Amino acid sequence: MAVSRVVEERPAPSELLGTEPRRQHVLDLDDFSAAEIEQTLETADAMAEVLGRQIRKVPTLRGRTIVTLFYEPSTRTRASFEQAGKILSADVINLTSSESSSRKGESLVDTARTLEAMGADIIVLRHSMSGAPYLVARHTSISVINAGDGWHAHPTQALLDLHTIKQRFKRIQGLKVVIVGDILHSRVARSNVWGLRTMGADVTLCGPPTLLPTDVLEAFGKAPGGLAIETDLDTALDGADVVMALRIQHERQTAGLLPSVREYIRCYQVNEERMGRAKETALVMHPGPMNDGVEISHGLAHGARSLVESQVTNGVAVRMALLYMLASPGVES
């Protein structure tokens, strides 16, 4: 099997996948077990080894076609999927569309069916509306990877966040992770809540009450890790191991949800001073793109406690792992 050269000293990824039936889609982390997340992260480690080689190319997905279908602008997610696919020797087609917010033009289902007819194996979908990947998964037989849908989910981001945390702390279980900012509109927060709690981390969501979703403690089901809500940042940061700042959108101000950016900074900016409440070993993360100096201070974002760059690097390895798990010819169930 082609990929065995990738992982000489480790168990082969096909063994890592165990006996569970092969996954068809990656729509969210809500249906990932801890074991499956663990397998994904271990596969990502194997992929990182490929990334460290001089010639970064393996033939694993040769002859497979991956389409990135992006209805919303994105730099890092799209680029890292493309790079991941190309390193694995897949053919990668990039499609972007600006028609997502209207019903003009071809419908999403018709577009996906067209791609299916053209022989695409995987659609990597980014969409501004929650649930769009489920629509494609239901009406085509292609594998769908959710690269971010509306406010709902961003599972590959959450997996790379988990990978980054595990790399630094050697564990996820028992860590206190604080996610700060616009939780209401954040797909990154939602997927991280599923993933982190499944792996046994305790999650605290912190933000202004207008940007915290309703009934959030009831929304995410049972999991090994705890879930808490806190509107006071200093209290939330108490004893934190990881602090994840989320991008704040300026339109929240005009929508009547925030008085001003100035007020937001005053109450919710993650900065060096506030990090004094967290553990000494605490690190900060940001899914990007950052409003440098708004939700996170410039010094902190670019300093020694920042994991932002590792997040980007790990993004490629995690996405390689997922593409491999979905499309590798060697792991048919």
Q: Which positions lie near other proteins, rule CB under 8 A?
A: 21, 23-28, 30-33, 100, 103, 107-109, 127, 129-135, 137-139, 149-153, 187, 190, 213-216, 218-223
User: Which element (helix H / strand E) includes 98?
Assistant: none
Shortest Cβ distance from residue 246 to other proteins (Å)? 14
- Cβ nearer to other proteins, comparing 4 with 33: 33
C-alpha closest to that of 94 among 113, 71, 128:
71
* CB atoms inside a 10 Å sphere around CB 235: 11
- Cβ nearer to other proteins, comparing 134 with 169: 134
For residues 68 and 124, the answer to whether their CB atoms sit within 8 Å is yes
**Bond into 155 cis (ω within 30):** no
In sequence order, the β-bridge partners of residue 92 are 66
Shortest Cβ distance from residue 127 to other proteins (Å)? 7
Shortest Cβ distance from residue 322 to other proteins (Å)? 13
Shortest Cβ distance from residue 190 to other proteins (Å)? 6
Shortest Cβ distance from residue 292 to other proteins (Å)? 26
Distance CA 4, CA 106 (A): 42
Shortest Cβ distance from residue 224 to other proteins (Å)? 11
C-alpha closest to that of 125 among 151, 98, 153, 147:
147
For residues 305 and 278, the answer to whether their CB atoms sit within 8 Å is no
* CB atoms inside a 10 Å sphere around CB 128: 14
- Cβ nearer to other proteins, comparing 151 with 264: 151
- Cβ nearer to other proteins, comparing 33 with 235: 33
For residues 2 and 58, the answer to whether their CB atoms sit within 8 Å is yes
Shortest Cβ distance from residue 302 to other proteins (Å)? 30
- Cβ nearer to other proteins, comparing 1 with 95: 95
C-alpha closest to that of 205 among 227, 235, 174, 186:
227
- Cβ nearer to other proteins, comparing 28 with 121: 28
SS3 of residue 94 by DSSP? strand
One-letter amino acid at 325 equals M
C-alpha closest to that of 167 among 44, 270, 52:
44
Shortest Cβ distance from residue 183 to other proteins (Å)? 9
- Cβ nearer to other proteins, comparing 153 with 199: 153
- Cβ nearer to other proteins, comparing 202 with 241: 202
User: Which element (helix H / strand E) includes 225?
Assistant: none
